[in-house]
Structure 1
Amino acid sequence: MAGAAVAAAGPAQWVQANVTGNGLAVLTLDRPKALNAMNLDMDIIYKKYLDEWATEPTVKSVLIQSSSARAFCAGMDIKGVAAALQEDRASTLPYQVFAAEYSLICEIANYKKPYISLMDGITMGFGIGLSGHGRYRIVTERTVLAMPENGIGLFPDVGFAHIASRSPGGGAVGAYLALTGARISNPADALYVGLASHYVPSQDLPPLKEALLQLDLSGDAYQKVEELLGMFSKTPEDEPKLKGLLATIVSCFGRNLPVSGIIEALQAEEQSEDPAVAEWAKGALEGIKKAAPLSLAVTQRHFADVAAAASDSKNPLSQIEGVMRKEYSLGTKTSMRPDFLEGVRAVLIDKDQNPRWKPEDIKHVDHLELEEVLSPLEGHPPPF
Structure 2
Amino acid sequence: MTSTDDDAVLLRRDGRAGRITLNRPRAINALTHDMVRRVDAALTAWEHDDAVATVVIDGAGGRGLCAGGDIRLIHDDARAGGGAGATRAFWRDEYRLNARIAAFPKPYVALMDGLVMGGGVGVSAHGGVRIVTERSAIAMPETGIGFAPDVGGTYLLSRAPGELGTHLALTTARLDAGDAVRSGFADHFVPRARLADFAAALADTDPAEAVRAHAAPAPPGALAPHQEWIDHCYAAGSVEEILARLRDSGVPEAKEAAEAMATKSPTALKVTLAALRRARRLSTLGEVLNQEYRVSCASLADADLVEGIRAQVVDKDRRPRWSPSTLAEVSEADVTRHFAPLGGAELGLV
Category of TM-score, reference length = shorter chain: over 0.9
Candidates 151, 174, 187, aligned match of 1:183: 174
Candidates 33, 56, 60, aligned match of 2:53: 60
Deviation at 1:345, TM superposition (A): 0.8
Candidates 291, 294, 306, aligned match of 2:264: 291
Cα 1:106–1:285 change in 2 (3 A) is same
* SS at structure 2 position matched to 1:245: helix
Residue matched to 2:229:
248
Does residue 1:348 correspond to 2:313, yes or no?
yes
* SS at structure 2 position matched to 1:208: helix
Contact 1:152 1:343 in 2 (8 A): yes
Residue matched to 1:46:
39
Residue matched to 2:154:
161
Contact 2:75 2:310 in 1 (8 A): no
Alpha-carbon deviations, 1:70-124, whole Å to 9, x = none?
0110001000111122233433012101101100000001111000000111100
Does residue 1:18 correspond to 2:9, yes or no?
no
Contact 1:82 1:341 in 2 (8 A): yes
Candidates 72, 80, 83, aligned match of 2:73: 80
Distance in 1 (alpha carbons) for counterparts of 2:40 and 2:21: 13
Distance in 2 (alpha carbons) for counterparts of 1:329 and 1:37: 23
Distance in 2 (alpha carbons) for counterparts of 1:194 and 1:250: 17
* SS at structure 1 position matched to 2:92: helix
Distance in 2 (alpha carbons) for counterparts of 1:236 and 1:88: 47
Does residue 1:9 correspond to 2:4, yes or no?
yes
* SS at structure 2 position matched to 1:116: strand
Distance in 1 (alpha carbons) for counterparts of 2:159 and 2:66: 23
* SS at structure 2 position matched to 1:59: coil
Candidates 300, 309, 315, aligned match of 2:273: 300
Alpha-carbon deviations, 1:232-291, whole Å to 9, x = none?
111134x22322211211111134x2100100010111x2xxxxxx23212211221121
Residue matched to 1:196:
186
Distance in 2 (alpha carbons) for counterparts of 1:302 and 1:378: 19
Distance in 2 (alpha carbons) for counterparts of 1:90 and 1:327: 17
Cα 1:8–1:38 change in 2 (3 A) is closer
Paired letter, 2:248: A
Q: How many residues align?
A: 348
Does residue 1:98 correspond to 2:98, yes or no?
no
| Percentage identity across paired residues of the two chains | 33
Contact 2:188 2:218 in 1 (8 A): no
* SS at structure 1 position matched to 2:347: coil
Distance in 2 (alpha carbons) for counterparts of 1:208 and 1:354: 43
Deviation at 1:383, TM superposition (A): 5.5
Deviation at 1:158, TM superposition (A): 1.1
Contact 1:89 1:336 in 2 (8 A): no
Candidates 263, 273, 278, aligned match of 2:243: 263
Candidates 225, 228, 231, aligned match of 2:207: 225
* SS at structure 2 position matched to 1:13: coil
Paired letter, 1:57: D
TM-score by length of 2: 0.95
Deviation at 1:372, TM superposition (A): 1.2
5+ long unaligned stretches in structure 2? none
For residues 132-147 of structure 1, what are the structure 2 equivalents within 5 Å? 132-147=125-140
Distance in 1 (alpha carbons) for counterparts of 2:53 and 2:247: 52
Does residue 1:330 correspond to 2:295, yes or no?
yes
Cα 1:8–1:179 change in 2 (3 A) is closer
Residue matched to 1:313:
none
Deviation at 1:379, TM superposition (A): 4.8
Contact 2:29 2:60 in 1 (8 A): no
Candidates 338, 347, 350, aligned match of 1:382: 347
Distance in 2 (alpha carbons) for counterparts of 1:118 and 1:48: 20
Q: Which has the larger radius of gyration?
A: 1
* SS at structure 1 position matched to 2:310: helix
Deviation at 1:380, TM superposition (A): 1.8
Deviates most, 259-268 or 345-354: 345-354
Cα 1:233–1:37 change in 2 (3 A) is same
Alpha-carbon deviations, 1:295-345, whole Å to 9, x = none?
1111101101112x2xxxxxxx21001011111110111133111110011
Deviation at 1:381, TM superposition (A): 2.0
Does residue 1:319 correspond to 2:284, yes or no?
yes
Deviation at 1:8, TM superposition (A): 7.7
Distance in 2 (alpha carbons) for counterparts of 1:151 and 1:8: 28
Contact 1:125 1:157 in 2 (8 A): yes
